[in-house]
Amino acid sequence: MAAAGSAQAHWSSRFAFLMASVGFAVGLGNIWRFPYVTGENGGAAFVLIYLACAFGIGAPVLIAEILIGRRGQGSPPMSVANVAVKAGRSRHWRFIGGMGLLAAYTIEVVYAVVVGWVLWYLFKAVTTGFVGMDGTAAAIEFETVLADNVGMLFWTLVGLGITGLIIYAGLKDGIERAVSVLMPLMFLMLLGLAGYNYFAGGFAEAVTWLFTPDFSKIGPGAVLAAIGQAFFSISVAMGGMMTYGAYLPRSTPIASSVLVIVLVDTCVALLAGLVIFPAVFHNGLDPAAGAGLIFQTLPVAFAQMPGGYLFSVVFFIVLAVAGITSMVGLVETVNHWVEERFGVARHKSALLVVGTIGLLSVFSALSYNVLGDETFGGRNLNELGDYFTNQILLPLGGLFIALFAGWVISRDDSRDELWSMHGGAYALWYFLIRFVVPPALLVIFVAGIMS
């Protein structure tokens, strides 16, 4: 059954598509994880390997995903099915889109709670500025957050409410309008924070951490980390890019748009490193704090730095924007499918999708305390969801997307969608998507399962 107008909707401009796609790709993991992984794996040497993997593995899959979405003109399962039928193949290939749909929904249930933490800490930054915060107090504060189910649920619902309002308003009045304002605002804020750090101290140490090449750290582990980071950081195989591709007018070139998305995503991640790590180094804190960097380490830095109140507020606004725009892409993926599958209007499907995510997010929140000891195969609910998506759905989904684009879709059909690519560029993409990307993603899948 056709969606209630969604399949016919299109981005009003290439800028809107790029902002939405970058907003979907740039998430909380990019902002804290990419700089940390870069510093731990050889700095500039790792960045070079990452860029090679991003353009050699991530970008080809992203091109394929958008290609399938635009040619299929539907939700991820419907787009894959439509393209398969046009190629004279079985509609059962739609399982690839179904994997992306399941990944988006599963990720959103867990991710919504983390975005709730960000909004809660934004509120704390506005009301207290983390004045007087030290390491012990910051750890206690975060433990208190994890123990407060009412607070976690409230802020999770605030984040879902904002996301739901954007989806409810539609493609042009909701998603386009939001990302066209929020993403440039986020970029300007990141630049402002990085500029502040240049004068506040710790900037030279951060630049050394991020950009000094140390080839002695480059080994199989670093290469595997670069492949995984390149694949996951641009958010492929989650259905979002296929959904956004379905809204893409034929006049918009796919390949050059993907190059912009990957470059901007990488630049934002590195810029975030110049925002986070100068504060960490200047205040003698641990740069390897992982996820705790945002919620336990940085508040201590905010309390100690001049202008820390303003810095903390702007920083958590940046994180909130990154989190919300990523949630919009995840929710829109499922919302588009619900509209299409059940023939309901957007406002009804938005309420249904956001409502069910809100209900399931209760269990995600409880897994940080009450249900923390309830495990399945040694993992609690959140750990199980993370493993299922990151180690199974995403690498396998990317693998099947590559196989579908390289071996099922005819060369003429893919060439027709990638009309803007010169012959040599298209030949390179076609070679990568057939012979390089599948074994690389198979390695990621096997390594994830083995670990």
Cβ pair 253, 77 in contact under 8 A: no
Tokens of 76: 């991820």
pLDDT values of the chain reduced to their tens digit, one per residue, 451 residues: 344 344 468 999 999 999 999 999 999 888 878 888 888 888 889 989 999 999 999 999 999 999 999 999 999 999 999 999 999 999 999 999 999 999 999 999 999 999 999 999 999 999 999 999 999 999 999 999 999 999 999 999 999 999 999 999 999 999 999 999 999 999 999 999 999 999 988 999 999 988 989 899 888 888 888 888 888 889 999 999 999 999 999 999 999 999 999 999 999 999 999 999 999 888 888 887 766 789 988 999 999 999 999 999 999 999 999 999 999 999 999 999 999 999 999 999 999 999 999 999 999 999 999 998 888 888 899 999 999 998 899 999 999 999 999 999 999 999 999 999 999 999 999 999 999 999 999 998 998 888 7
Residue 246 lies in a domain: yes
1 within some domain: no
Domain of 142?
A: 14-450
> What DSSP string runs through 105-137?
HHHHHHHHHHHHHHHHHHHHHHHTTTTT--HHH
* 193 part of a folded domain: yes
**Residue 7 falls within a domain, yes or no?**
no
CA distances from 332 to 72, 147, 336, 355 (A): 17, 31, 6, 14
Residue 262 is assigned to a structural domain of this protein:
yes
Structure tokens at 15: 């800028």
d(CA 243, CA 331): 11
Structurally, how many domains does the chain consist of? 1
CA distance 373 to 314: 36
Per residue in 124-172, pLDDT (tens digit) is 999 999 999 999 999 999 999 999 999 999 999 999 999 999 999 999 9
Hey, how many other C-beta atoms are within 10 angstroms of the C-beta on 427?
A: 12
Q: What is the CA 363 to chain-centroid distance, rounded? A: 22
Answer whether residue 9 is part of any domain.
no
Find the angle CA(8)-CA(245)-CA(100) to the nearest 5 degrees: 110
Q: What angle do CA 317, 322, 327 make, to 5 degrees?
A: 120
Alpha helices by DSSP H, 212-297: 220-233, 240-246, 254-282, 292
What pLDDT digit, counting tens, does each position of 73-90 carry? 999 999 999 999 999 999
Domain with residue 315: its CATH number is: 1.20.1740
Task: Say if 4 falls within a structural domain.
Answer: no
For residue 214, tell me if it sits in a domain: yes
The crossing angle, in degrees rounded to 10, of helices 254-282 and 177-200 is 40
Handedness of CA 290, 291, 297, 303 (dihedral sign): positive
